[in-house]
Amino acid sequence: MPTRNDFQKEWPKIKGQLKKMSTDALVLAKRGEKEFREFSKQGKFYLDSTALNLKKEHLYYLIGKEYVNAKCPGTHSAQMRKLLEELDGLDRDAQVIQRKMKVKT
């Protein structure tokens, strides 16, 4: 029975330490959640930027292919105009993402 009495004597101190530890853990978890959210947003911007760059590379390939098929024309075909407009749109999207990345950092 002496061990039971020791536990009962120590319980209020242990209980206080457990409560303090749980509140500290909660504070750390909230701080970690906030930082995780920020890292996640930043990662999403980088992923979107990389995806846009891949799309642009593919468009460069398609534009080059269309240019060779048209045998280096002076005026652009309808397909070439469409590809160039899409490239301009991707450039604007990339600029928007770059601005957002700068604002978040």
Q: pLDDT, tens digit, for every residue of 16-73? A: 888 889 888 888 888 888 888 888 888 888 899 899 999 999 999 998 888 888 877 6
> Could you tell me the maximum CA-CA distance found in the chain, to the nearest angstrom?
100
pLDDT exceeds 70 at position 105 = no
Supply the pTM of this predicted model. 0.62
| pLDDT band for position 1 (cuts 50, 70, 90) | very low
Give the pLDDT of residue 15. 84
Give the pLDDT of residue 57. 94
The stretch 65-91 carries a mean pLDDT of: 84
Give the pLDDT of residue 34. 85
pLDDT exceeds 70 at position 5 = no
State the DSSP H helix or E strand holding residue 96, giving kind and residue range, or none if neither: helix 78-104
Give the pLDDT of residue 2. 55
Q: Calculate the CA 41 to chain-centre distance.
A: 4
Is residue 105 within 8 Å of residue 42, measured between CB atoms?
A: yes
